[in-house]
Structure 1
């Protein structure tokens, strides 16, 4: 999630974000889908936790490039407190900081078959949960589809933290086109059901194109917006 600027006007604070505008009227309180996020009166720093897989450190695809640019923007243009949680199975000694500003926390993961640089994780080591519990971010941003999505939904409910899910790989299309007939229909329906279950828990789902937004809305997935500059 990217905060572009903060504007003050007689008790009205407006935060312009890449994909949504949050407004607060009183006591520096931002309201996101009826949840309140308290911003410190002593600092303009915003606490953000990014849960990303595959790893933006070693994996190269459109999703990881987007998250790298997001991290670069947060480092260059903001003073926000950002935590990155991911899994890494390619590098033996992966870096622990992104450009000296963003701590990187690694959870135990495994490599996806046929994709040598893609690692995913169920967070068996509870690393992500520990980071969220300790840092208490004001926003959790999770990549989707991913195995970290259930954990993000759980943490969002436990700690009452707004959840943003960015939707990248369109799994229903993969199921429809890659699997044999009849099986593909069953798997596609199952995938849509899982997507609906988890993305309904998110306060906001950001997608990469208007076409993808239309697909999700046709399957009753709420609160979808397009992430500008999407592919």
Structure 2
């Protein structure tokens, strides 16, 4: 049997991202070679890299990304709570950079939001070159609440757990499909808009096909449906 390959068609590679334990172990050992800082930063880097590559692969298979290397143009690092000490009285946040050697101290006592969060617990911190993103969490007294409802939002579904009614699932697949269709339309219109001299007409046409007006209505519809399903 003769196999004929059409070389005129564009060749598309399907990326495979190695995720086995042996590969991750070798990668971690290689990154830790000569590393003098806390080990968490290496683990966080690997986790963010895998998350980014998975996102790129998903968009690449949909035709939304090109076959180019993913590069972080704005470096950042995530700091977990075990490397953070928060002094509520002084408004001082101490972040471990090198264990028992080097620390980064942030003083938020004079910041505008300190009075609102001074009694809250500190959460994950994201450090950038010239800024820091702080997260705080407030403890809730569950004794005064009769019913607690858990909501878990996925890409294509909204899962709600009610202690009496049980699990309630709202299907968002149609909403997601509509969003993808109109995102493709908008991308094509923008591509034509940059090349075509008739920009005014295309700009008006682009405004007519804004996806937000459509899937926001669906979002409100699903939210109302979910609210109606819950007992009052």
Instruction: From the two aligned structures, give the one with the greater strand fraction.
Output: 1
TM-score scaled to structure 2, two decimals?
A: 0.20
Instruction: From the two aligned structures, give the one with the greater helix fraction.
Output: 2
Q: Which has the larger radius of gyration?
A: 2
